[in-house]
Structure 1
C-alpha cells in the first residue's frame, strides 16, 4: 500500500479573520512618504528604506541560507545548507539529522532579504512518519527590510519524543510564506530520533 501524499492544504498558513493585507509599496515609494519629517526619514534609513534605489522596482526576495537545530545537550548546532539549490537541498531528506530522544531542542533559520520589505513571514513545518502527519507547527517570523546581513530566527524550544515507539525516521516539509502568499522557501528534510546525538 502506497503512503499517503502530503497535501498542499497542510502547508497553507492560517488566516486571521478580518485581517486584510495592506497595499504593497516599493522601497522608493516608502522613502518618499513624509519627506518633510526628518526624524521619520532617519528611522526609515535605519530600516534600509533608502531613496538611493528609487526608480528600481525589483521583486522582493528571501534568500535561504540555513536551517539549524540547537540544544543545550548538543556540543554545536547541526545545520542544513540551503544555499545548495533545489538539487543539493534534496540530500537533506536522504541524510537525516539525529536528535537524542527526550532532549530539548530548537529549530532556527537563517536568511537574507533583498530588494523589498517582506511582511508577515511565517514558518510552517509538517512532520510525517510512515506517511502519517504527526505534527504541524506554524510560527510567525515577522517582517523584514532588505539588508546585506543575514537574519536569524530561532523558534520555541520543544522536547523530542522518547521511548522505543518514538525512535525512527521522520520526514519534514518546511515552508516560509509571507502575507501576500509568496512562498520564499519550500524544502524537505528528515530527522531520526535515537538514543544519542
Structure 2
C-alpha cells in the first residue's frame, strides 16, 4: 500500500503545541495539594473546584484517568448525539476503525468526552485528534480539558463546535481519527483510533 493511501496517524502528528515562555508547574501529589496553605481563600476555592478535600474522591486502586465515552453532539443533526463506548475490550476498540459512525454532512457538531479521575490530581490535560481521509490529513483539533481532581462522578468535557465536511469528496470515503489525551508534560493518558463517514 502506498504512503498516500495509508490512513494511520503517526505519533508525531499528535504532539500538543507549546507556548513560548510557558513553564510547566511542578507536579504535586494529592496529599501535597491538601496540605497547601489553608488560609489562602482563592487557593481553597481552587482546591474545592478540583474536589480536593472532599470525601469520596481519591482511590489509589483506580487508574489516574479512565475514559468512558466519546460523543459527537449536534443541535441540528437527527438524534442529536452519536457516541462510542471507550470501555470496550481492546479488540472491540480496534474494530472501531472498520465500523465507522455516521454523521450528517454540513451540520455543526462538538466532540465531547466523558472521563473519571481516580487516584491523583491531573493538571493541564489536553484532547487532540487528527483526521485523515485517503491518507491525507483533513482536520486537526487541540483543545484544553483542564485540571481535575479525583471524584466518584464522571466529568464531561465538550469542545468547540466544528462543521462536518460536505460535498462529493467528503462522502467518498471513511475519515480515520486518532485521538489522544495528554497532560502539559506530554504524558499520554489515552490513545485510540476510530472512524466516521459523512452521509
TM over 0.5: yes
Q: How many residues align?
A: 191
- For residues 98 and 92 of structure 1, the distance between their equivalents in structure 2, rounded to whole angstroms, comes to 12
Describe the superposition over 1:11-51 as per-residue Cα deviations: whole angstroms up to 9, x where unpaired.
Answer: 0100111111111111111111214x285786435632239
2:174 is aligned, of 169, 172, 185, to: 169
Counterpart contact for 2:96–2:193, Cα < 8 Å: yes
Deviation, structure 1 residue 58? 7.7
1:62 is aligned, of 62, 65, 68, to: 65
The aligned residue for residue 15 of structure 1 is: 18
- For residues 82 and 20 of structure 2, the distance between their equivalents in structure 1, rounded to whole angstroms, comes to 38
Q: Secondary structure at the match of 2:90?
A: helix
Q: Secondary structure at the match of 1:156?
A: strand
- For residues 80 and 57 of structure 1, the distance between their equivalents in structure 2, rounded to whole angstroms, comes to 27
- For residues 40 and 137 of structure 2, the distance between their equivalents in structure 1, rounded to whole angstroms, comes to 52
**Could you list the runs of 5+ residues in structure 1 that have no partner in the other structure?**
none
The aligned residue for residue 27 of structure 1 is: 30
The aligned residue for residue 127 of structure 2 is: 123
Structure 1 runs, 4 residues or longer, greater than 6 Å off: 56-60
- For residues 148 and 59 of structure 1, the distance between their equivalents in structure 2, rounded to whole angstroms, comes to 11
Deviation, structure 1 residue 141? 1.1
**Could you list the runs of 5+ residues in structure 2 that have no partner in the other structure?**
none
TM-score with structure 2 length normalisation? 0.86
The aligned residue for residue 182 of structure 1 is: 187
Could you say what the CA RMSD is over the residues aligned between the two structures, in angstroms? 2.4
TM-score with structure 1 length normalisation? 0.87
